[in-house]
Copies of this chain bind each other. A is one copy, B any other.
Amino acid sequence: MDLCIVPIGVGVSVSRYVAACEGVLQDANLKTALHAYGTNIEGEWDEVMAAVKRCHEVVHEMGAPRIMTTAKFGTRTDREQHMEDKIRSVEEKMGQ
């Protein structure tokens, strides 16, 4: 999953809320990689989704009245593939 949580109604700076979500994902023992527009998450469906729900709860508890989240999530049945496999696969094909 690629997760981007945007709290609305709390002003321009949202990094405090994003940091809290990173904490939630770490507490859930999910493999994550933060980037400038979200966080890559790797894990089983139910565990990932439970953590996303917890993120919304935490951000609301921190005072955000409204949250707008964008997520991409991929599943595949043909083979196992990890986050770093996807990046390596692209990098290997660059410059060819």
B6 touches A9 (CB 8 A): no
Question: Looking across the interface, which residue of chain B has its beta carbon closest to that of A59?
Answer: B75
Number of copies of chain A assembled together: 4
Interface residue tally on A, bucketed by range: 35 or more
Chain B residues within an 8 Å CB radius of A15: 86, 89-90, 92-93
Known: A19-B94, A66-B75, A70-B72. 5 other contacts (CB 8 A): A6-B6, A9-B78, A19-B92, A36-B86, A71-B71
Interface of A toward B, CB cutoff 8 Å? 1-2, 4, 6, 8-9, 11-16, 18-19, 22-23, 33-38, 40, 42, 45-46, 49, 53, 56, 60, 65-78, 83-84, 86-87, 89-96
